[in-house]
A and B are shown apart, each in its own frame.
Chain A
């Protein structure tokens, strides 16, 4: 090899992947050896550059999303149980607890439609995949508030099922759940539309 090595060849030599001819030339040519030293120096200098630190603490935003994901997992699990319990209560009915006739049919239809609406909103939320998007602190806080509200309603629904609460109470709780879910989906839809995703 009579010509000088190219930078690509010298980088390969530096990284232990050089071809035989480049290695031999590098051994004999002072200019190429100096260039090889320089490439080593640049890499060392790059590694020695000062570490840059984030100007702001992003943990609150990350925490809000991580906590939200955890709550959603819990809600999803709890929701399946609650929906199953609600469906069972509607199908079996309890004499003395459920009224008979047209009123019962109307309330059952209401409860069914609320459970169904809640299910559709959960599905809409999953489709939006909110954890894949960057959130502002304010949006994260609104979402956390709504998710806390939903978790609270779910806990009350669980308790209502366990203690055999009145159908009016159940309807009221399911209405609250649908309302909160609706607000949560709206926040995510607005965010998605805003960032064009």
Chain B
């Protein structure tokens, strides 16, 4: 996972509440065998509408998503996070999130910044008035800033630390690699190995 310190980009206001993970990416898009390529399924049900905010040229290239409350509720699919990342989002700023979605985001390196809904309303107005104005999200300082706009956001210390250090679950465990090495030296010799195969015809 890449380290996350500060991110500057334009934002996309998504004035909808209760966007569950089925809406973020519908089940029919889950058949891929990679963690990439899910951008096509992002908000698929709304993408055909030319007026849908994601289709508006003014917001093209946005990397910060600002949805309404209760974003990412519902099914636990990790694909919802991948779809947002594959599309290019690095940060989601909102007032309330589904728990599992928030957990999955932290593991995958998508920053979830929690602010009061009042701030969201202000941000929406700011972004709609100045779509090309960059917004900076500073994780170390927990601050969101733009031209004439400042707010602080919430994130738990543990997730913040992991993002700053660029540590996913695997990265964290690999910090204990000495202990794993040591454990392996003590494993009894009678424990089975799959290689080399002891049957005639593994292909």
Query: Are A and B associated in one complex?
Result: no
